[in-house]
Amino acid sequence: MLKTKKCNKCYVIKDIINFYKKGHSKDGYANECIECKKQIDKTYYLKNYDKLKILRDANKPRIKELFKRWSELNKDKRELYRKEYRAKNGELIRQKSRERYADNIEESRAVNREKYKNNSEHMRKLAKQWRENNLEKAKEISRKTKQKNRVKIAAHKKVYRQKNKEKLNAWSNDYQKCRRQKDIKYKLNGNMSNVIGRALRGNKNGWHWEDIVGYTLKDLMTHLEKRFTKEMSWKNHGIHGWHIDHIIPKSLWKFKNFTDREFRQCWSLCNLQPLWAMDNLNKGKKT
Ligand SMILES: [Zn+2]
């Protein structure tokens, strides 16, 4: 059995596994090593590109048919290869795909839009299903998107509000009044947003108050509940009941932006407590 062979291109003696098998040659192997053969083929391909292209184009249906037949026969092999390749190069593939998308952003978007339009019902169904299966993730994405586009969204809202002022006011007053009475979370959320917005004098820049202060509505409610006196409840929050009180009053803190340390201290949970509105007014007189 042949163990080594000298390549007649690079003249290196190599192990026989470095040669293609070739049935009709004397020893059953090609004369050039695989490496050289690849080089030869490549050079030939490049040199004769135009000629080969004509040939390829002329035989397109046949080549396609051949490939199809081959694919059918080697389904498992192809699938396995594809899987292995994706597992090995997953990040690269994703990156390439992202790059392609970014390089042709307008085109890519147009293609996506078209796809969506043609299949809108199906796409919506898919999206909805995904959201239902990935509730937390979906919420997180929505929140991040809103955060990312907050300036845009705030500007858009402003224009919209200006355009539809009267209609919105009438609707909003009724709706808010009704909902604030029924939904303490809604009421508290609105209050916090308003009070913090006023404290920042226009420097809130579309941020959600929870992201500014670093705790959630739920955190705030738990914090306040722990400090309720016997008679306090979410039912008597308001003018005729209790307020959220700043233990060290707002007026004593100096801040312009929510990034200022004193803003964070002023609005930190440990500076907030529930206090009867009457007591709060009295306290205001003292300080
Ligand atoms: Zn060689």
**How many Å lie between the centroid of ligand 1 and the Cα of residue 88?**
30
Q: Where are the beta strands (DSSP E) in the chain?
A: 4-6, 13-15, 19-21, 29-33, 242-246, 272-276
Across 107-136, average pLDDT? 87
pLDDT band at 285, cuts 50/70/90?
A: low
Q: How far is the CA of 42 from the centre of ligand 1 (A)?
A: 14
Q: How far apart are CA 110 and CA 116, in angstroms?
A: 10
**Residue in the structure block whose two tokens are 């006011």:** 169
**Per-residue pLDDT for 107 more than 70?**
yes
Query: What's the pLDDT at 169?
Result: 84
Distance 20 CA to ligand 1 centre (A): 12
Quickly state the pLDDT bin for 42 (edges 50, 70, 90). very high
Ligand 1 midpoint to CA 21 (Å): 15
pLDDT score recorded for residue 8: 93
Q: Tell me the CA–centroid distance for residue 32 and ligand 1, in Å.
A: 5
CB atoms < 10 A from the CB of 200, how many? 19
Q: How far, in Å, from the CA of 22 to the mean position of ligand 1?
A: 16
Residue 181 has pLDDT above 90, yes or no: no
* pLDDT in the model for residue 5: 93
pLDDT over 70 (residue 287): no
Distance 43 CA to ligand 1 centre (A): 15
Amino acid at 203: N
* Ligand 1 center to 75 CA (angstroms): 33
CA of 256 to the centre of ligand 1 (A): 75
Centre of ligand 1 to C-alpha 17, Å, is 12
Structure tokens at 153: 């969204």
Q: For residue 1, how far is its CA from the centre of ligand 1 (angstroms)?
A: 20
CA 41 to ligand 1 centroid distance, Å: 13
Going from the Cα of 14 to the center of ligand 1, the distance in angstroms, rounded, reads 8
Residue-range domains of the chain with CATH: 1-64 (3.30.60), 74-133 (no CATH), 184-286 (no CATH)
- Ligand 1 centroid to residue 24 C-alpha, Å: 20
204: pLDDT confidence band, cut at 50, 70 and 90?
Answer: confident
Distance (angstroms) between ligand 1 centre and the Cα of 77 equals 29
What's the 11 CA to ligand 1 centre distance in angstroms? 6
> Which residues are CB-neighbours of 187 under 8 A, at least 6 positions away?
179, 180, 181, 237
DSSP class per residue in 84-149:
HHHHHHHHHHHHHHHHHHHHTHHHHHHHHHHHHHHTHHHHHHHHHHHHHHTHHHHHHHHHHHHHHT
Distance 13 CA to ligand 1 centre (A): 8
- CA of 55 relative to ligand 1 center, distance in Å: 29
* pTM of the complete model beyond 0.75: no
Q: How far is the CA of 267 from the centre of ligand 1 (A)?
A: 76
Three-state secondary structure call for residue 27 = coil
40 alpha carbon to ligand 1 midpoint, in Å?
A: 10
Per DSSP bridges, beta strands 19-21 and 13-15 are: unpaired
Task: Tell me the per-residue pLDDT of 157-170, one tens digit each, with 9 for 90 and over.
Answer: 889 988 988 888 88
- Overall average pLDDT of the 228-241 stretch: 88
Q: What is the pLDDT of residue 165?
A: 87
pLDDT (tens digit, 9 = 90+) per residue, 249-260?
888 888 888 888
- Whole-number Å distance, alpha carbon 70 to ligand 1 midpoint, is 30
- Closest among 266, 269, 268, 248 to 256, alpha carbons compared: 266
